[in-house]
Amino acid sequence: MTAACREKIALGAGICYLVLMALHIPVWRTLYCEDLLAPVLLATVIARGDASRLRRDPAALALALFLLLAGLATLTHLGPFPGNAYHWCVYAYLAVTFMFFRGTAFPAATLFRLGAGFLTLAAAACCFDLMMTWTGAGPGRFSLISAQMDATAMPFLRQRFTFTFGNPNLLGSFYALPLALLLPRLLAASANWRWRQTLAAAAALALAVIPLLLTVSKHALLSFALLAAFVATAARQRFPRAAALVGAAIVAGGLLGELSVAYPVFPLQKTWPFLNTKCPGMYMIHQSAYARMAAHAPAKLLFGHGAAAARTQYPSFTNHDSTRQTLAHYNALPDFDSFVTFMDPHNEYLHLVILFGLPATLAMFAFWLLAAASPPNRQTAGLVASFTAALLFCCLWDDLLSKRWIWITAALLANRTVFTTKNNAAAWRNHTCGDNVNTTKPPCETPAPPRPT
């Protein structure tokens, strides 16, 4: 099979993967329709020889180091099966996904249409749900209804937009991907915009963000960070103060998000510090348990406790009185048994330390920092840096690194081979020369001109 034919197959598989992932169609448990394309992704990465270029790719080298250290930890936690094996396989799959999407030469116009199509459908579904709610015609079909929130201090959490994902937090983290498909091309065109074009783009993005706001998810910080980087880069020359204000607003929103993890925050108090700090936040129930578990046996920091041991030991590290007080605030006392029996940590740092140990965790986050430190060009440098910073911050309140779309978003933002359609043929031929991360070069099979005699 020629390199051009192979890359055409990869291009089709990548586009199908993005479409299926947006539809979020389950097959069995955590297996979804897009995962059926995993063999094609793996075969493409192997055929390209991406693994042989680790020495020239610091980010991929850090990722390989993580998989090695996590694999060693998995060998020490094999029982009872699958133990850590399942988690290691998930991260190995995500690593393949990252390498595939970073090295595939997608047409920029195709990515733009995919992102715009998803945002349009999400906005239409959101409008449908709002109309059904306001008219009383029936319940929304694309929202999660939590009637128990009516009796709490947070009634705004009663209805949260989910679209095809069934969970507002999943949609909140996924939303960064369609924006990442749109913004690089908009950024390239923004230098030539006039007032009408600027206002039209601003209005379209504002409408696209409404469904994201209605998820009422702290994961929206990922998307807002991308939008802030877009505004800051596009408006830096004309409106430097506005760009700085946008960045400050995102930082303030992130800090408020983390504060809402530590404490319920609402309802506000009349006296300083004005925020409700009477009891810990809901996530602090399991985050505190995992933190105590990690500190209880310092020797375990090398290779972690393992998934099975974490599930077994979790109940002994929970504080029942504090849990009961917190759940009463959220009107969620019926869920008391599940909170003190076993919960995921909702903190990626604690999650990786417990599963694989501290060295593997450091290698993982070295990978993200190195990936952000090598942007494809100056225009997208701000997008990559903002997304990575927001991701590392959001990891304080969720296990985000197990989400496929997080890795694909980072891969596409760092992709150096996203060209217009007319350049794809040259990009495919360059893969034969072993160049899948640099700028387009003349086809490698073209012979050099003869030297003059």
Q: pLDDT band at 413, cuts 50/70/90?
A: very high
- What pLDDT, on a 0 to 100 scale, did the predictor assign at position 149? 78
- What pLDDT, on a 0 to 100 scale, did the predictor assign at position 431? 44
**Phi–psi pair at 107, nearest 5 degrees:** -65, 130
Answer yes or no: is pLDDT of 174 > 80: yes
Q: Tell me what the mean pLDDT of segment 184-197 comes to.
A: 87
Percent of the chain, pLDDT > 70?
A: 91
Percent of the chain, pLDDT > 90?
A: 63
Answer yes or no: is pLDDT of 238 > 80: no
Mean pLDDT estimate for the chain: 87
- What pLDDT, on a 0 to 100 scale, did the predictor assign at position 153? 66
Tell me the C-alpha distance between 11 and 116, whole Å: 19
- What pLDDT, on a 0 to 100 scale, did the predictor assign at position 237? 61
Contact present, 327 and 298 (Cβ < 8 Å): no
CA distances from residue 401 to 16, 258, 392 in whole angstroms, order as listed? 22, 18, 10
Answer yes or no: is pLDDT of 141 > 80: yes
Answer yes or no: is pLDDT of 425 > 50: no
Q: pLDDT band at 167, cuts 50/70/90?
A: very high
Tell me the C-alpha distance between 146 and 87, whole Å: 31
Answer yes or no: is pLDDT of 151 > 50: yes
CA distances from residue 64 to 189, 373, 375 in whole angstroms, order as listed? 37, 17, 20
Answer yes or no: is pLDDT of 50 > 50: yes
Q: Which tens digit of pLDDT belongs to each residue from 52-88? A: 777 788 999 999 999 999 999 999 988 777 778 999 9
The CA-based angle 360-102-177, given to 5 degrees, is: 90
Burial of 8 (0-12, 13-18, 19+ CB in 10 A): middle
Tell me the C-alpha distance between 357 and 77, whole Å: 11
- What pLDDT, on a 0 to 100 scale, did the predictor assign at position 421? 41
Q: pLDDT band at 435, cuts 50/70/90?
A: very low
Residue written as token pair 């160049």? 435
Each domain of the chain, given as residue ranges in start order, spans: 121-262
Contact present, 161 and 168 (Cβ < 8 Å): yes
Q: Which tens digit of pLDDT belongs to each residue from 274-320? A: 788 888 999 999 999 999 999 999 999 999 999 999 999 999 999 99
b/e map 213-251, b = 16+ CB within 10 Å: ebbbbbbbbbbbbbbbbbbbbbbeeeeeeebeebbeebe
- What pLDDT, on a 0 to 100 scale, did the predictor assign at position 58? 92
Answer yes or no: is pLDDT of 418 > 90: no
Answer yes or no: is pLDDT of 219 > 50: yes
Answer yes or no: is pLDDT of 15 > 90: yes
Q: pLDDT band at 245, cuts 50/70/90?
A: confident
**Phi–psi pair at 416, nearest 5 degrees:** -95, 5
DSSP 159: E
Q: Which tens digit of pLDDT belongs to each residue from 92-126? A: 999 999 999 999 999 999 999 999 999 999 999 99
- What pLDDT, on a 0 to 100 scale, did the predictor assign at position 359? 97
Q: Tell me what the mean pLDDT of segment 214-229 comes to.
A: 93
